[in-house]
């Protein structure tokens, strides 16, 4: 609390009390109205029965754990392995997408921070940002076209003789993982870039002068500095991937089901907002628990991620 007060006092001294109060009020409204209250309402819904409008507020309108029990046991007909399996597969797929994003974005961020200068740096930034001016759904359909049976990948591969018949990249979920990796690439690049940019180039040159290999320079010097940025980017990419809906629906194969699609089905198709809220709460708690576990494993605190 004292630290928060000191930060507020420092901000007031720099920008004035008016700006500080306006920003504080805006953040408070944003957090309270757009984040906290909807989550509280969803949590309240998740403990309610799915009643008709005339029964709401009546004697049957009581709190219950049946919506969460359905996720575990599906109305007492045995363990609900289907929905739990979908949740586990969604978490594992989100981890895979996050790892791919780290592998792809780390060298991009390093080159952007310490190698690219002038026109090259500006072109790299434009190349990263401009494609995201296109709507996410349109980008997902573009990936479906590229990876389709008659798409670019199959066309090039067959024309070069790499394979004779079209490969079903949609059913194999290659299109889905590629689309999700690309969708959140900026959320990984820029946190790593912000962390690596603070690294003194002289440290890298000194290590190279002492005979350190390229791998050792990055492992011992660059990665420790980039660790908070990687943790921040990985957290955002993982959470958003696990909560994605458009890309899994457009790019997912017929046998692939994302947990958010189950949530959508309960809300939209079944009209059971209470059970949909319970499933959404389960997804949120699972993702938060996984992120906190990974923070503990990799010894990264929330302050480092916030920076």
Would you kindly state where each structural domain of the chain is located, as residue ranges?
1-43, 84-306
Q: Nearest 5°: phi and psi at 63?
A: -75, 145
Look up residue 183 and give its two tokens. 């969708």
Q: Enter the CATH code of domain 84-306.
A: 1.10.3720.10
The torsion of the CA quartet 193, 196, 198, 203, rounded to 10 degrees, works out to: -150
Q: What is the pLDDT of residue 32?
A: 93
Give the residue from 142, 109, 101, 106 showing the smallest Cα distance to 125.
109
Cβ neighbors of 72 (< 8 A, separation 6 or more) are: 79, 80, 84
pTM listed for this prediction: 0.87
Partner residues linked to 63 by β-bridges: 48
Give the residue from 180, 146, 182 showing the smallest Cα distance to 166.
146
Asked whether the beta carbons of 70 and 217 are under 8 A apart, the reply is no
| Placement of tokens 């072109």 in the chain | 123
Asked whether the beta carbons of 290 and 91 are under 8 A apart, the reply is yes
Asked whether the beta carbons of 276 and 266 are under 8 A apart, the reply is yes
Per-residue pLDDT of the chain (307 residues; tens, 9 = 90+): 566 677 667 767 777 788 878 888 998 999 999 889 999 999 999 999 988 888 888 888 889 999 999 999 886 667 888 899 999 999 999 999 999 999 999 999 998 888 777 788 888 888 888 888 888 899 999 999 999 888 899 999 999 999 889 998 988 889 999 999 999 999 999 999 998 988 888 888 888 888 888 888 888 888 888 888 898 899 999 999 999 998 999 998 777 889 999 999 999 988 899 999 999 999 999 999 988 888 887 777 776 666 6
Cα–Cα separations (whole angstroms), residue 104 to 95, 97, 185, 190, 192: 14, 10, 8, 13, 11
DSSP H or E stretch at residue 306? helix 302-306
Q: What is the pLDDT of residue 288?
A: 92
Q: What is the pLDDT of residue 306?
A: 60
Q: What is the pLDDT of residue 282?
A: 95
The torsion of the CA quartet 263, 90, 98, 188, rounded to 10 degrees, works out to: 0
């Amino acid at each position: 609390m004292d630290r928060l007060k000191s930060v507020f006092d420092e901000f007031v001294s720099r920008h004035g009390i008016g700006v500080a109060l306006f920003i504080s009020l805006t953040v408070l409204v944003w957090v309270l109205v757009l984040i906290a209250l909807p989550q509280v309402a969803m949590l309240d819904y998740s403990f309610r029965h799915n009643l008709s409008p005339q029964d709401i507020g009546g004697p049957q309108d009581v709190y219950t754990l049946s919506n969460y029990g359905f996720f575990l046991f599906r109305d007492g007909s045995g363990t609900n392995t289907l929905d739990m399996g979908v949740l586990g597969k969604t978490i594992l797929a989100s981890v895979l997408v996050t790892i791919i994003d780290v592998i792809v974005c780390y060298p991009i961020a390093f080159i952007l921070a310490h190698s690219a200068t002038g026109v090259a740096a500006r072109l790299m930034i434009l190349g990263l940002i401009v494609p995201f001016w296109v709507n996410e759904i349109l980008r997902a359909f573009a990936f479906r076209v590229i990876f389709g049976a008659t798409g670019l990948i199959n066309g090039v591969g067959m024309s070069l003789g790499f394979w004779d018949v079209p490969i079903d990249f949609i059913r194999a979920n290659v299109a889905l993982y590629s689309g999700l990796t690309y969708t959140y690439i900026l959320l990984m690049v820029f946190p790593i870039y912000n962390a690596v940019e603070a690294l003194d180039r002289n440290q890298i040159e000194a290590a190279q002068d002492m005979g350190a290999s390229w791998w050792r320079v990055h492992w011992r010097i660059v990665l420790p500095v980039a660790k908070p940025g990687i943790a921040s980017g990985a957290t955002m990419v993982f959470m958003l991937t696990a909560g994605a809906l458009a890309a899994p629906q457009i790019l997912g194969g017929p046998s692939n089901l994302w947990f958010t699609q189950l949530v959508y089905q309960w809300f939209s198709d079944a009209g059971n907002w209470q059970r949909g809220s319970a499933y959404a709460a389960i997804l949120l708690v699972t993702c938060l628990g996984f992120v906190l576990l990974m923070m503990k494993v990799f010894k990264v605190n929330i302050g480092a991620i916030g920076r």
